Amino acid sequence: MTKETDREKVSRFETALNQFVERFKDDRYVLAAVLVGTLSEATIWHRHSLELWIIEADGVSRRLRSDGNDERIFRILVEGGINIYAEVISRTRFKQMVEGASRTAFSCNFFAERKLIYSIDRSIDQWFEHANTVATKDQERELLAFSTWTIHAHMHAKKRLDVKNDLELAGQEVIGAAHSVAHTEIIRQGKVWEQDVIYKAIDGDPKLFKTIYLDVLAKPGNRKTLSAALDAIDGYLDQHYKAHLKPLLHYLKKENRLVPLSEISDHFAYSQIYPWHVAAVCEWLERKGRIQKLSAPFKLTKRSREQVEEPAYLLED
């Protein structure tokens, strides 16, 4: 059997996509479709399916029991033998997705281009064009998100190494942190990159990634290598923290008070940043002497009369 070339695979996927769009062109309830990720010879090798957003009219969603109570609806469809992973989105929800802090669906689009391939709604055209452009430029939020992953992984790697003396799992955590740093470097460049992120990052800063990635792969379970990698990652965080953690630092400065962790987490709830990652970042900043850690009262239930304490942080001028 002759092996399919990349060009032939691109053609096969494009044909399936066009056939799929033709199927719903007469469906007045389907308003638009967005292709997630490009179909090119450079990126087609890792594709096993098509990824789409299908935007439908309000009030027509067909929910299945398997959807549960999740607001997001996903469907796996097929065309020409190619699976299509589709997120079905109502018009109103799509509008919410592209506005303000709720624009989480455009998060991480530094790593996957989005293209409007079908639309019968001019408003959707305008919303998409605006959101896709702004999100590509919206580096601050993405830098914060990936920096939280880096700090969280670094913290666990250091515990594995220093407390548990578990060199193998410490190495895995370091590799995870290195991939987070790699994604951060792509975001810093402000351009979409759909191919292997780690190799692009190595080309951009070979010295850093030799220490935190290549050496760790070459010498697994080597304490000296892992320690050097952790020091390099910590140095990287030190060097860039003002820019990479800017939204968090700006928020604390603007509040100009002792801010409970629950309030900080709520503030970034729509930025795809986990509360435990927020806590890790705040603990890192506190250890570096850049913010002060105290505590604040917290009610476990809305009817609780007794209070417990939660971490609270203060950024002093």
pLDDT at 298: 94
Strand order of the sheet with strand 49-56? 73-79, 82-90, 49-56, 30-36, 114-119
CA distances from 211 to 131, 168, 235, 245, 295 (A): 37, 17, 12, 23, 38
What integer pLDDT is reported at residue 189 of this predicted model?
86
Closest to 91 (Cα-Cα) out of 51, 114, 123: 123
pLDDT at res. 108: 57
Q: Is 285 exposed, middle or buried, given 0-12, 13-18 or 19+ CB atoms closer than 10 A?
A: buried
- The Cα–Cα gap between 191 and 206 comes to 19
Q: Is the pLDDT of residue 104 over 60?
A: no
Q: Is the pLDDT of residue 100 over 60?
A: no
Say how far apart CA 260 and CA 312 lie, in whole Å: 4
* Cα–Cα dist 150/277, whole Å: 9
Instruction: Tell me the pLDDT tens digit for each residue of 149-191.
Output: 999 999 999 999 999 999 999 999 999 999 999 999 999 888 7
Greater confidence (250 vs 71) lies with 250
Specify the 3-state DSSP secondary structure of 98.
coil
Query: Which residues lie closer than 8 Å to 28 by C-beta, 6 or more apart?
Result: 57, 120
Residue 165 to residue 226: CA distance in whole angstroms: 11
Mean pLDDT of 271-282: 88
User: What is the signed CA dihedral for 65, 70, 71, 77, rounded to 10 degrees?
Assistant: -60
Share of the chain above pLDDT 90, in %: 77
> Tens of pLDDT along 10-68?
999 999 999 999 999 999 999 999 999 999 998 899 899 999 999 999 999 999 999 99
pLDDT surpasses 50 at 101: no
Three-class DSSP category at 164: coil
| Predicted pLDDT of residue 136 | 62
Cα-to-chain-centroid distance, residue 78: 27
Q: Phi/psi at 196 (nearest 5 deg)? A: -60, 115
**79 pairs with which residues across the strands?**
82
User: Domains of the chain (ranges plus CATH)?
Assistant: 6-137 (3.30.460.10), 139-244 (1.20.120), 247-317 (1.10.10.10)
Q: Is 47 exposed, middle or buried (0-12, 13-18, 19+ CB in 10 A)?
A: middle
| Strand (E) or helix (H) holding 298 | strand 292-298
The Cα 230–Cα 68 span in angstroms is 42
Tokens 């509360």 map to which residue?
275
**pTM: predicted TM-score of the whole model, two decimal places:** 0.83
